Structures are given as C-alpha cells and as structure tokens.
C-alpha cells in the first residue's frame, strides 16, 4: 500500500511540479526487499469520490492516457507482484460501481484500444522475460542506473533474472518533454534492443523511441563502464534488452 499511495500521489501532480516530489518514486526501493510485496491498484482506489485511475491523471486527454500507460509500465518493471482492478486495463472513466457493468463501450475509441493493447503486451513481456519476475523479493534482481535526476523527472534501473546475464534496462520520463540523446550507463558493451515503448503509435502514443535499438559505447556513465544515448519519449517508459 505504501508503494501504491506514494506512486499515485506522485502521478497526480502536474508534471511541472513532479521534480519537487521525486522521492515519492524512489522511496519504495529503500524497503522493497524487506517483505514479499504485491503492488496493488485495487477497487479501493477507484471508488468513494477518488475517480477512475484515468480520471486521476493530470493533463489533457492525450496526457491522461500517456500518464496511465507510463504508470502501468513503471508498475510492471518495478519489483513486486502486480494487482490491477477490472476496468483499469482499458481506461474506464467512471468510478467502479458494483451495481453496473464496466464501460466496455469505450473500446470503440482508439485511445482505449491502445491502452488495452499496452496492458496486454505488458502481461506478455512480464511472462516471457525472467528478469521481470524471477527475483522480485531480493536486491540481486534490481539495480539503480539513475535515481537522482529530479530536475528532468527521469528514472532508470536494471532488472535481473536468476542468471545475472539475463537483464533488462527500464527508463522512464515523467514529463511531457522528450529527452533526446539522454545517456544511460549500461552493464555491457553490446546492442540494446527496444522491446517495449509505452509511446508507440500502436498504443496511442507519439511514436518517439529507439527502434530498432542502440549500440553501447565505451563511454563511462552513471558509474558504469559503458553507456547508450537514447530518446526518452514524453510521459513514457522504454524497456531495453541486451542482444549479444
């Protein structure tokens, strides 16, 4: 519940103010491995006047959907098992009501279709990538790349599987300002394929990214011997996988 409260409070801030609340994102990793945690977005967060998760996101219509995709991407990349409540996966506008059905009719709109496709792909990647689920409750499964860039409201971290050579790099941009040539330190000198991007046009985004990938350079960065220059899309998260 601590992760859920801190993260939702952060996401409700207008992006221009988020740099003043950066610790609300990073605090969870201080205690993440003291217990076996579930990251919940339960029914309790979409009732009693709180509004739906989509309605809680700031900004115009495009930014609301982009923020929600970013929130889900960050959730799936963060250590801990996941819990989502029904209707959140396609962006229901109304609060949950036990006396009425979900707003399935919203799926006639491409924005809601895109969000549903994104959540489906997150589930697929979560199942297929051991780095995202094998070591959820131990510090060996997580490494910060950069958790201090509060001025630009970005985060980057590594998730590792039981085989430490099996890892992913996740990078988030919590502002609507694209970050081009954003350099990240990486563990190995190899090609990094972008396997997921919440800003893909397939999901309703602006299609800024790093397809098909980036080659690491022997330039030390973030305390690591190699680095890659990437594009961080607006209100987006990208996930990169090493290809040797």
Angle at 216 between CA 220 and CA 167, to 5 degrees: 95
- Please state, in angstroms and rounded to a whole number, the distance separating the CA atoms of residues 155 and 146: 6
The percent of residues in the chain predicted with pLDDT above 70, rounded, is 100
Q: Supply the pLDDT for residue 42.
A: 84
Q: Where do you find CATH 3.20.20.80 in the chain?
A: 2-129
When the pLDDT of each residue in the chain is averaged and rounded to a whole number, the result is 95
Query: Helices 61-77 & 110-128, crossing angle to 10 degrees?
Result: 10
Cα separation, 164 vs 180, in Å, equals 29
Kind and range of the H or E element at 56? helix 53-56
Which residue, chain included where needed, has tokens 């502002």? 175
Question: Which of the four CATH numbers 3.30.1180.20, 1.10.760.10, 1.10.1040.10, 3.20.20.80 does domain 2-129 have?
Answer: 3.20.20.80
Question: For residue 200, what pLDDT is reported?
Answer: 98
- 197 near 233, Cβ under 8 Å? yes
Write out pLDDT tens, residues 212-233: 999 999 999 999 999 999 999 9
Token digits of residue 78:
């963060």
Q: Which residues of the chain have pLDDT under 50?
A: none
* Residue in the block written with tokens 């997921």: 196
Q: Domain 132-243 falls in which CATH fold?
A: Immunoglobulin-like (2.60.40)
| Domain span(s) for CATH 2.60.40.1180 in the chain | 132-243
Question: Can you give the pTM of this predicted structure?
Answer: 0.96
């Amino acid at each position: 519940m601590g992760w859920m409260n801190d993260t939702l409070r952060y996401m409700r801030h207008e992006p221009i103010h988020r740099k003043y609340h950066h610790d609300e994102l990073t605090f969870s990793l201080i205690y993440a491995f003291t217990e076996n945690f579930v990251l919940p977005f339960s029914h309790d967060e979409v009732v009693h006047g709180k509004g739906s998760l989509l309605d809680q996101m700031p900004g115009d219509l495009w930014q609301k959907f982009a923020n929600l995709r970013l929130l889900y991407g960050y959730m799936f990349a963060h250590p801990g098992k996941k819990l989502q409540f029904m209707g959140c996966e396609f962006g229901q506008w109304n609060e949950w009501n036990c006396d009425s059905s979900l707003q399935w009719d919203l799926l006639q709109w491409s924005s809601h279709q895109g969000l549903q496709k994104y959540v489906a792909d997150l589930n697929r990647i979560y199942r297929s990538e051991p780095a995202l689920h094998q070591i959820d409750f131990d510090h060996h499964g997580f490494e910060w790349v950069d958790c201090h860039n509060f001025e630009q409201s970005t985060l980057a971290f590594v998730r590792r599987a039981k085989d430490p050579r099996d890892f992913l790099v996740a990078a988030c941009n919590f502002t609507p300002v694209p970050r081009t040539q954003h350099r990240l330190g990486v563990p190995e000198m190899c090609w990094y394929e972008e396997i997921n991007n919440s800003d893909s046009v397939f999901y309703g985004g602006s299609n800024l990214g790093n397809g098909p990938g980036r080659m690491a350079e022997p330039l030390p960065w973030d305390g690591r011997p190699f680095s890659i220059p990437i594009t961080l899309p607006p209100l987006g998260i990208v996930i990169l996988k090493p290809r040797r």
